[in-house]
Amino acid sequence: MPELQILALEHNNFTGQVPSSLGNISSFLQLGLKDNRFGGSIPSDLGKLKSLTFLSLSQNSLSGTIPHSLYNLTSLQTLSLALNQLSGSLAPNMGLHFPNLRNAYFDKNSFTGLIPPSLSNISVLRTFYVSENNLYGNVPGGLGRLEYLELFNLEKNNLGSENEGDLDFLANLTTSLRKLSIFRNRFGGMIPHSIGHHSRKIEILYLGDNMISRRIPVEIGNLISLIGLAMEDNNLVGEIPSSIGNLVTLQALFLGGNRLQGTIPSSLGNLKNFLNQLILLYLQNNSFTGYFPTTVGELINLNVLDISHNKFSGQIPSELGKCSSLNSLQVQANSFEGRIPSSLGSLRAVDYLDLSSNNLSGGIPFELQNLSSLQTLNISFNQLEGSIPTEGIFSNVTRLYLQGNERLCGGIPELHLPKCARTNQVKNEKRRSMSSTVVIIAVTVSTFFGLVLVAIFTWILRRKGPKRNDTPAISLAGGGQLLRLSYKQLWDVTNGFSAANIIGVGSFGSVYSGDLGDKPIAVKVMNLKKHGALKSFKAECNALSKIRHRNLLQILSCCSSLDYKGNDFVALVYELMPNGSLESWLHGSSILNLSQRLDVAIEIASALEYLHHDCEPQIVHCDLKPNNVLLDADMVARVGDFGLAKILQEATSPGNLSQEQSMSSLGIKGTVGYVPPEYGMGGNVSSEGDMYSFGILLLEMVTGRRPTDEIFNANNSLHNFCKSRATNYSNISDIVDSYLLAKLNT
């Protein structure tokens, strides 16, 4: 085939090695072997094809280095080696060998080393892709000579030094540039002001996931052709420049994960005249304040809005209901107040809605149950009250998060919430028929005066709106507040949930140590793949938000969010108990003496007395055992792990389940050896069950024996063992922990 000029074998299933004999067809102008299953190395004989202008070996399984002979192909205009397993470095003098190269694709391999400085000699270069390799060092400053460069992709390498001057090369780039990505590298320093002076053609600018600092330059607003702008996960500070409103073609804006602050600029807020093409808007994990602009309703093309983990205040704009294309709305962990806008029920395309950890009040709009596309709804940790709808997303307890709203009632039986009083039912029936107002139901003397009162209150509320409260907080017993902690914060303080930080593993997840500023914390991450884990999380949040006692473990935060992979994430954050569990002090290398055991026993009893007699409503722990008793720095006992705890509603409370109803369907199992026998036979949960567990725990503290030790069985339990020997004083030494006896005899 001496006259063959073009061989195109792309998108097949050819295997084996690329035939070296192809190098003998000197007439080749184009050779395309893309998207096959070729392996082995690139044959050096391809370097004989002096007339070759196009060579594509991408999307195969080629390995090894680029053969030096390939740099002899001085006629090449396109070279594509992407998506292979190639290694080694790009030749430093590469730019001297490819004077005609227009398009170079080296991305998604394992190349190392520097970007060749000689690249600036390829004066006709238009496309240069080296993303997803292991390149390091600085970007050569001479790239400004590449006046035709349009596509420049360096993302996902180790480029930069995290220092000032890393981004100086941006100042010299050509005005022909259309796409630039340095995403996920190690670039530091500031974005040069001159970035806005060089290219008004640029459509994609991705600078995210680096170490870039200082302010966003005002000149960014000169890049009027931008479609995508990403600067997320850096160290940017200051406010969003108002000039960003000049980017009239912008469709995606990523500014999350920085240290930006201030209010949303008026130009960004004037969405009707500016950013009306926006599809993706990410502002999460910053320190923005003030009201979120009501003109957000003009963003009819918006798919994703994430303003979570900021300091926005005021009400959630009801105009969000006009964003008919919205798929995901995340406003959690701010200081929003007032009612949930019923207009959110118009978001027919939304599948993820998170309003958690704000200061929202009032009832849940029944319109939300009509959102047929909604897959996840999180309205936890607000101050919501009243009846819970029962249809749509509210019928799926696995995708619904309501914890931390103590005055909610009703809903489907699986939620295990008290029935609503009659007044709540009337309120919600009225709210269904009046979507734009909140109707206050008054107890009327007659039907006539009742309707008059409703009309008056409705008219007032329509004119004035709900009053604002400038104290966003999640209330705890005793007036405390839960901290609002994001997934990112917990990730950071636990070193990415490192195995080295694990201090315990339980039935429903793992516990990690961390430092929140100068405060040591324990982070209990629930494994949602475990059956009952989410229920345990909700139970513990519900129980711990109601209690405050020196002998109970203090909860600092409940986090319900998404992890970096988009999976559901829930965690409980406690103060760290540096001396571990009672279990380790009874059966470990360090043993408590008699006086210490007595102190611990009294402190546990004090905690139970509080739970059973001083709590309103009463709380039953249901899983008291040495592993769930922790010791602080002063060896003071703290009862923890309320994952199986049950709150017993008073039988006489109007609208609530009776105690018998509340307890008969629980199916509590507790921990073998400590759980009362009657629980295993369907008995009701009660405070007496906790006292049985406490009794077993006391016996364990005295004897140094676990109730699950091998010597014990159904006919000879720890309780029976002690009982049979306690009748004769001479047998007491058989019962008492040998360690205590040794101490008493010394």
List pLDDT tens digits, range 658-687: 333 333 223 445 678 888 877 766 567 788
Question: Pick the catalytic residue: 354, 623, 641, 737?
Answer: 623
Count the alpha carbons within 13 Å of 32 in the hemisphere toward its beta carbon.
Answer: 12
Lowest-pLDDT choice from 7-21, 553-567, 596-610: 553-567
Q: What confidence score (pLDDT) does residue 546 get?
A: 66
Percentage of the chain with pLDDT > 70?
83
The overall average pLDDT reported for the chain is 82
The answer to whether the Cα torsion of 413, 416, 420, 421 is positive or negative is positive
Domain map (residue ranges) of the chain: 486-576, 580-649+668-745
pLDDT at 465 over 90: no
- Number of neighbours of residue 329 by Cβ within 10 angstroms: 23
CATH assignment, 580-649+668-745: 1.10.510.10
d(CA 303, CA 251): 10
Residue 421 structure tokens? 């009083």
pLDDT tens digits, 240-253:
998 888 888 898 99
Verify whether residue 623 is a known catalytic residue: yes
Binding site feature residues: 524
Q: What's residue 511's pLDDT?
A: 86
Separation in Å, CA 684 to CA 106, 253, 646, 661: 68, 55, 11, 9
| Mean per-residue pLDDT, 213-219 | 94
Give the per-residue pLDDT at 142: 87
User: Which residues define the annotated binding site for ATP?
Assistant: 524
Query: How far is the C-alpha of 297 from the C-alpha of 26, rounded, in Å?
Result: 63
Residue 627 DSSP one-character state: G
Q: Name, in order, each residue with C-beta under 8 angstroms of 706's C-beta and a sequence gap of 6 or more.
A: 587, 673, 700, 718
pTM of the predicted structure, to 2 decimals? 0.59
Of 275-284, 328-337, 471-480, 493-502, least confident by mean pLDDT is 471-480
pLDDT winner (highest mean) among 425-429, 466-470, 480-484, 719-723 = 719-723
Class (C level, CATH) for 486-576: alpha beta
Q: Which phi and psi angles does 728 have, rounded to 5°?
A: -125, 120
